[in-house]
């Protein structure tokens, strides 16, 4: 991760810490912090009724759509792995309330209909890893992104697939993923990813290829590679959440 990115996330985490410190005084109750605002009764018992009301007031407006980020990538591409693990996933962890992530593992692969198979830039292992991730996205739903982050941040993407699934999506059996990759479903998912990738306008010329709300610009891509957090905050059309406003103000004052 480059120096500027480290600076950005340092500022972000300082801001999050300050927001949480101000919003959550230490109560004397038997509930963990994650449960304090679950109900009015718990909030009153824990002495955080005012803070919970403020928190609810700053939640994203459900009428305002989140920023849609689509990543067209290859599972074994070094640049794709770096962007996903160093920029996209950390930003999503902080801003998941105002952004959605769509992962499309295919990239520069080619479908070979006559052979009922695919050809991938980084060989057969990448074709299999692409399909594993496509099956994880299909089967693991909300837990899919953490599973794929776990895989892509490991030394061996394929060897880590099973333990990553067991860690982040224990409700999905590894056998389900294996069956998907060996059967019609896995092939169909890869075909769909290929169709999505080929339909890009403008056509993709490299990977990772990143679109925002269905649109691609080289300017947005350049910003995504360095300050994705800032870009998402600025593209969001609703009232910025505290994590955005606090971090951006501090970043503007910093020397980074």
Q: Is the dihedral of CA 124, 125, 126, 128 positive or negative?
A: positive
* Beta carbons within 8 Å of 226's beta carbon, 6+ residues apart: 2, 4, 5
Per-residue tokens: 191: 């075909």
Cα 106–chain centre separation: 17
- Strand partners for 112: 117
Q: How confident is the model at residue 151 (pLDDT cuts 50, 70, 90)?
A: very high
% of the chain at pLDDT higher than 70: 81
- Summarize the confidence of residues 16-44 as an average pLDDT: 62
- Structure-model confidence comparison of residues 24 and 118, the more confident one: 118
pLDDT score of 210 more than 70? yes
123: left (phi over 0), alpha (psi -120 to 50) or beta: left
- When mean pLDDT is compared across 17-26, 154-163, 220-229, the lowest value belongs to 17-26
DSSP state letter for 87: I
Determine contact, residues 85/229, Cβ cutoff 8 Å.
no
- Structure-model confidence comparison of residues 233 and 252, the more confident one: 233
E-assigned strand segments in 20-163: 67-73, 99-105, 110-112, 117-119
Distance CA(1)–CA(254), nearest Å, equals 19
* Beta carbons within 8 Å of 180's beta carbon, 6+ residues apart: 131, 135, 138, 139, 186, 189
pLDDT score of 15 more than 50? no
- Provide the whole-model pTM: 0.77
- Summarize the confidence of residues 224-237 as an average pLDDT: 96
Q: What is the rounded average pLDDT for all residues in the chain?
A: 86
Instruction: For residue 155, give Cα distances in angstroms to 84, 125, 150, 151, 162.
Output: 15, 14, 10, 8, 14
pLDDT score of 143 more than 80? yes
């Amino acid at each position: 991760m480059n120096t500027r990115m480290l600076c950005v996330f340092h500022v972000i985490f300082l801001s999050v810490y300050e927001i949480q410190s101000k919003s959550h005084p230490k109560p004397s109750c038997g509930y963990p912090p994650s449960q304090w605002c679950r109900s009015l009764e718990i909030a009153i018992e824990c002495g955080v009724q005012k803070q919970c009301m403020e928190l609810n007031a700053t939640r994203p407006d459900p009428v305002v759509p989140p920023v849609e980020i689509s990543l067209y990538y290859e599972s074994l591409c070094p640049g794709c792995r770096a962007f996903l693990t160093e920029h996209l996933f950390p930003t999503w962890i902080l801003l998941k309330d105002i952004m959605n992530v769509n992962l499309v593992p295919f990239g520069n692969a080619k479908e070979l209909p006559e052979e009922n198979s695919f050809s991938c830039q980084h060989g057969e292992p990448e074709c299999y890893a692409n399909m594993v991730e496509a099956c994880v996205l299909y089967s693991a739903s909300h837990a899919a992104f953490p599973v794929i982050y776990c895989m892509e941040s490991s030394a061996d993407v394929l060897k880590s697939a099973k333990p990553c699934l067991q860690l982040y999506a224990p409700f999905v059996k590894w056998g389900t993923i294996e069956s998907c990759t060996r059967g019609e479903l896995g092939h169909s998912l890869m075909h769909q990813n290929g169709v999505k990738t080929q339909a890009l306008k403008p056509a993709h010329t490299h990977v990772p290829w990143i679109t925002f709300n269905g649109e691609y610009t080289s300017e947005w891509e350049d910003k995504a590679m360095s300050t994705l957090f800032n870009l998402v905050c600025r593209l969001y059309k609703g009232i910025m959440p505290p994590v955005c406003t606090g971090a951006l103000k501090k970043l503007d004052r910093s020397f980074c």
